[in-house]
Amino acid sequence: MSAAAISEAVRAGRMSISESVNRALDACAADRCNAVTALLADRARTRAARMDAQGETNGPLAGVPFAVKNIFDVAGQTTRAGSAATDGDAPAREDAFVIRALEAAGAVLVATTNMDEFAYGFSGENAHDGDTLNPRDRRLSPGGSSSGSAALVASGAVPLALGTDTNGSARVPAALSGAIGFKPSYGRLSRNGVFPFVPSLDHVGIFAANVSDAARAFAAMDQPDPADPIAARVPQAELAAPRVARLGGWFAAPLQEDVATAMEAACTALDVRETLELRHAEEARAASFILTTSEGGQTHLARLAARPEGYGPLVRHRLTAGAMSPAIWTTRAQKLRRMVSVELADLHAQADILIAPATPCPAFPVGTDTHEVAGSALPIRLGIGMFTQALTLTGVPIIVLARRGELSGLPVGVQLIAAPHAEATLLASAAKLEAAGFHTAPEEASHV
Amino acid sequence: MSVRTFLAAPEGFEAEALVRATAPAIGLRLGEDDVAEIAMNLERSAGFAALLADIPQIDLEEPAPVFRAEPAP
């Protein structure tokens, strides 16, 4: 059931909150994708029973079960961030701001989810907790780093989940798993209580089965929070008739056929008549890569020095290399960041919404290093996020919608990209695209 | 792919030497087995960094804002 259907059923008295929560807990317990890292059954049942007893059924998300990537603080739990390096950390004293916001709207947290270690990866691989599997085909990766959150929503176990997006960690798994993946503007949703990775790029991301549910969750969390130093909230009014253009250049790279067909379909549905080029897109992707490795390395330096054995080797070596990056690399990346943000603003002066592919191909086999795309070998760990990573450092709101590819039968996604704080227009355009067939129904949870 | 998903480090970039020199400066003790893997990652970053270095006048550009001087609340 969608979040809207659950809250409506709860409000109308057709379903208790306990019933909704128990269904989700059962579905999460039956998870066969290694998506769940902790089932919060006692907490969820206690809260649901109290809400039922007190008649708390009027919230916009009343009775809606949700899950969070285990990078979010959950009171009483150690925030693992997908790593054994956090094993000795003290339990969180309170829930992350966005969890508190969703629960204030009536939602109920039921589980934490698997992820790439410290959010550093696109593949859903994890050396400590095991790899997350794609609910559409368990031989395949669901994408990462918010792999478990995407997989749980795509499986139908929960209608909503939270992840993070630094280089595409919500958008890539949304495309590969078949869910809505929504990254609001940088600073729009509070990161207070989220384990940091790359503070100048970290965003909270939303997974939902449909655009309306994503919008509902966004509205519940869209609140000022002085505890997040980069908090920024400048809502823009929805435009009645947004102009839509396609991004060319870097984003017109050879695509797997289902992705290429999806792009054409999205452009037709949104009446695209123009292609625009982000001139420094390739350099923007390089800058994001450098900022990620260097800032991530700095975030982790003390922990790398104290207990390097807690890290999986892949991530330990990446972060250590980042901590050693020459300063001129990062200052050039920051300069490029400003240049490309100005370039993108110029494009948004010509078109309110831009369309780009989310990934070059559908889901790839778990554990693979390269994957064939349009006749060439794509290095998966570097290449699968090439279209999301090129945009992330501009901080603009982006939503991914997926549909099933005709050849592969797998979800493939497109990104809709709006100007900073134009979430209202972005969500309206996304709803229009969803109505044109960009929707991938969740799998039946019992079959996953 | 015709687009470049991987870029080679500039010729002469001695990543292992950089790793060995930097580790003590930032308080890290590395096993010998780690050095080559870390160096490989640094080479990858060097390839991306070289792409930015090719942008004319980039060193004279204004960086992205990272600090705002604001009155105390």
| Per annotation, catalytic residue among A7, A147, A169, A429 | A169
pLDDT at residue A446, rounded to an integer: 45
The answer for residues whose C-beta is within 8 angstroms of residue A255's C-beta and 6 or more apart is A263, A357, A360, A361, A373, A374
Amino acid at A183: K
Domain limits, chain A: 3-221, 244-434
Q: How far is A75 from chain B (nearest CA, A)?
A: 29
- What is the Cα–Cα distance from A128 to B55, expressed in whole angstroms? 41
Task: Please tell me the CATH code under which domain A244-434 is placed.
Answer: 3.90.1300.10
- What is the Cα–Cα distance from A103 to A217, expressed in whole angstroms? 10
A69 is an active site residue: yes
Q: Which candidate, A373, A311, A296, A324, places its Cα nearest to that of A127?
A: A311
Amino acid at B31: G
Number of other CB atoms surrounding residue A228 within 10 Å: 17
Residue-level length of chain B:
73
Does B8 contact A at CB distance below 8 Å? no
CB-CB under 8 Å, B22 with A286:
no
Burial A53-78 (b: 16+ CB within 10 A, else e): eeebbebbbbbbbbbbbbbbbbeebb
β-pair partners for A182: A206, A399
Cβ-Cβ contacts under 8 Å between A and B: the total is 130
DSSP conformational letter for A275: E
- The residue of chain B nearest to residue A304, with distances taken between CA atoms, is B28
pLDDT at residue B8, rounded to an integer: 87
Residue A37 φ/ψ, nearest 5 degrees:
-105, -25
- Asked whether the domain spanning A244-434 has the same topology as the one spanning A3-221, the reply is yes
Side-chain half-sphere exposure of A448, counting CA atoms within 13 A: 30
pLDDT at residue B4 is higher than 80: no
The answer for residues whose C-beta is within 8 angstroms of residue A272's C-beta and 6 or more apart is A244, A245, A246, A266, A355
Q: How far is B14 from chain A (nearest CA, A)?
A: 13
Residue A25 φ/ψ, nearest 5 degrees:
-60, -40
Does B14 contact A at CB distance below 8 Å? no
CB-CB under 8 Å, B61 with A335:
yes
Q: How far is B38 from chain A (nearest CA, A)?
A: 5
Question: Regarding beta strands A398-404 and A36-39, do their DSSP bridges make them parallel or antiparallel, or are they unpaired?
Answer: unpaired
Does A254 contact B at CB distance below 8 Å? yes
Q: How far is A56 from chain B (nearest CA, A)?
A: 36
Enter the tokens of residue A364.
Answer: 């790839």
Q: Which candidate, A213, A175, A321, A240, places its Cα nearest to that of B41?
A: A321
Does A287 contact B at CB distance below 8 Å? yes
pLDDT at residue A448, rounded to an integer: 39
Q: What is the pLDDT of residues A116-140, one digit of tens each?
A: 999 999 999 999 999 999 999 999 9
pLDDT at residue B64 is higher than 90: no
Side-chain half-sphere exposure of A258, counting CA atoms within 13 A: 21
A402 and A171 in contact (C-beta within 8 Å)? no
- What is the Cα–Cα distance from A31 to A157, expressed in whole angstroms? 8
Does A338 contact B at CB distance below 8 Å? yes
A145 is an active site residue: yes
A432 is an active site residue: no
Does B56 contact A at CB distance below 8 Å? no
pLDDT at residue A447, rounded to an integer: 40
Does B62 contact A at CB distance below 8 Å? yes
pLDDT at residue B1, rounded to an integer: 46
Contacts of B46 in chain A (CB under 8 A): 329
The answer for residues whose C-beta is within 8 angstroms of residue A95's C-beta and 6 or more apart is A72, A73, A74, A75, A103, A109, A193
Angle between helices A211-221 and A3-11 (to 10 degrees): 70
A429 and A416 in contact (C-beta within 8 Å)? yes
Does A140 contact B at CB distance below 8 Å? no
Contacts of A327 in chain B (CB under 8 A): none
A137 and A161 in contact (C-beta within 8 Å)? no
Q: How far is B12 from chain A (nearest CA, A)?
A: 16
- The residue of chain A nearest to residue B5, with distances taken between CA atoms, is A383
- What is the Cα–Cα distance from A432 to B7, expressed in whole angstroms? 39
As for the ipTM of the complex, it is 0.91
DSSP conformational letter for A239: P
Measured distance between the N- and C-terminal CA atoms of chain B, rounded to whole angstroms: 52
CB-CB under 8 Å, A335 with B62:
yes
- What is the Cα–Cα distance from A151 to A104, expressed in whole angstroms? 25
Q: What is the pLDDT of residues B7-31, one digit of tens each?
A: 889 999 999 999 999 999 999 999 9
Amino acid at A312: G
Q: How far is A261 from chain B (nearest CA, A)?
A: 18
Residue with tokens 């501009």, as numbered in its chain: A394
Helices of type H across A108-177: 147-155, 171-177
Pick the CATH number of A3-221 from 3.30.420.40, 1.20.1740.10, 3.90.1300.10, 3.90.1150.10: 3.90.1300.10
pLDDT at residue A334, rounded to an integer: 95
> Torsion over CA of A140, A146, A152 and A154, rounded to 10 degrees?
-60
Enter the tokens of residue B73.
Answer: 């609340």
CB-CB under 8 Å, A379 with B6:
yes
CB-CB under 8 Å, A341 with B42:
no
Does A252 contact B at CB distance below 8 Å? no
pLDDT at residue A110, rounded to an integer: 98
Contacts of A320 in chain B (CB under 8 A): 28, 30, 34, 38, 41
Cis check for the bond before A294: say yes or no (omega within 30 of 0): no
- What is the Cα–Cα distance from A116 to A148, expressed in whole angstroms? 9
Does A300 contact B at CB distance below 8 Å? no
Number of other CB atoms surrounding residue A350 within 10 Å: 11
Amino acid at A264: E
Number of other CB atoms surrounding residue A400 within 10 Å: 32
What stretches in chain A show pLDDT beneath 50?
A: 446-448
Q: DSSP labels for A40-67? A: -HHHHHHHHHHHHHHT---STTTT-EEE
